[in-house]
Structure 1
């Protein structure tokens, strides 16, 4: 009776449940935890400190990155949804001593990454486990939802720790940030991806993206100042009234242009429709439609209107001419080109405020597309800036 009472307790039941789950993972991923060979030297680590792990590499990514700490190769991160994460046998902070019998001491990150990429089948790791991993409690358990305010392509990023794990996105895409523990690289899913079956990807953190964009702006500013400096040679020496800016003056953050990274968002049912573009469409009687200059979008986004911004982009030159001709509006080619160029400039400068873009290649089709979007807004929640929920 006492034994039955012990096995019926909540703590023991939880222990047995975890044991069963780990056993299922081991079978699903063909993982093993073997003893260390008898002839292996423990002088640097101590008896029992070294562990052998087998992972079966399939079409699914391993989902782990490495880093160098001195001459050691350490696991830098384990990405959610990968084989390493699901097996629960490799953890952040583990030191890798060998991979398939190849010693890792003194090897570079690039060497290890290329080695793992070329391997297939069973991969055997000899590791020194991170002793604190089992007592570690993640500080960021909650998912943060953000709208990207810039385009990103990991293939073009020299700083990303693993290009294969990076995810690309476009301005306006919604990302679900599930891990912010790394100050430079967050783990994220794109909106509408099945988080149960898709490997999480790496994206630059808000702070990291801000810092490197500020650095770019400072380089551009220094280059401009340098060019100005060369022309100062011709200035008269006795001209003391002119205030000159030093060639190596630092540029403060306040002097920099606004750095666009991410906007934290939440779901909400918007009520007001804002339309912007060089050519406008008709207003819908279901809802308030405003046609405004794009410079006012910043103020509107911070107002209590909670606008949904639609940008009407003109199509190519010939289609634009035909659309205007059907309305008995005849413009010269230079005027048509000016409309298209202004639209491009507006999208470059204010595109991070746009919620929806309509390409006005056909008036009827564009109008129907706008009505469809308005009707959708009335029944489906939208991702909006998080501060809107407090208004």
Structure 2
């Protein structure tokens, strides 16, 4: 008989685990495609160029539709220029049949100096549209760019004169203006394009085994069971159920906030003898949760439903939990000692949870297994899991009980 693990909640996605963190992860450093000093110099140039393109309402609808698709995949309100310019050539996010925006942009860039077309195609410069869900589909956005100012930015408003020529007015915008009026920001996405999963091919976990949380990721799971003959032993999984943030961690022109939850645990390993300890290597599960500025300001919860520990064993004493708001930088590790118990004796296993030097460290804790499986984590009065909090972030750490079945 073959055995499979069946968790009773079907709308749940399993997070891929990195099996070996004994060595430094070379992928955690700054991407070669992000040159902050060089790319930032281009932001104003691209904003001016875009404002002079004579974009019409249909072009902005294309941008808005692409922004909405990025949100559906668990990204921020963004549209990478490389996806506009490459258009249907191995794009990871946006795939459409035609684009007048690309044609206008390509024609203009081909006439510009400094080989800006090639630079944009290979950069992480993007169109960012804060509060895009509030757009009335009629008002033409103003265009600004992210600079060293945190609150007020120079913006360009295109006005088509009766004779057909374009006049560009200059104004100053802040976040309050962007909440009431459509504003497009040319900025630099600190998430390297190479670290995005291939969403276009139905992938939601990137090359570093990080799950990008979204409704699309949750809906991907389909469990089909056949010829169920016998129910066996119980199995317990631990997941991040839901998440909410009420604090903006970045300046408004630089986007929303990208949170990553890491959990280190001894997973799917039954320890019967001391010799078994030599083969124990903790799994590190990671899920990335993006919240737009409006999500944060409205204190919206999002369902994550990401299984972080798929088979929690009674031998486990605790697990390591780390929450960061993601930025870039060189690779770092939090070295956490996990406890295991065998024949009345306690042992420690090293787990290395990766983060980056530029990340905002929000919370590091070791949750006891007994705590997770107790009424301190589950409210028996209303049958809900307790909401945990740190750094103006909130989450539930939920337990699912299933059974091993034979088929």
TM over 0.5, yes or no? no
TM-score by length of 2: 0.24
TM-score, normalization: structure 1?
0.25
Choose 1 or 2 for highest CA Rg. 1
**Is the helix fraction higher in 1 or 2?**
1
Q: Which has the higher contact order (CA 8 A, sep 6+)?
A: 2
Which is richer in strand? 2
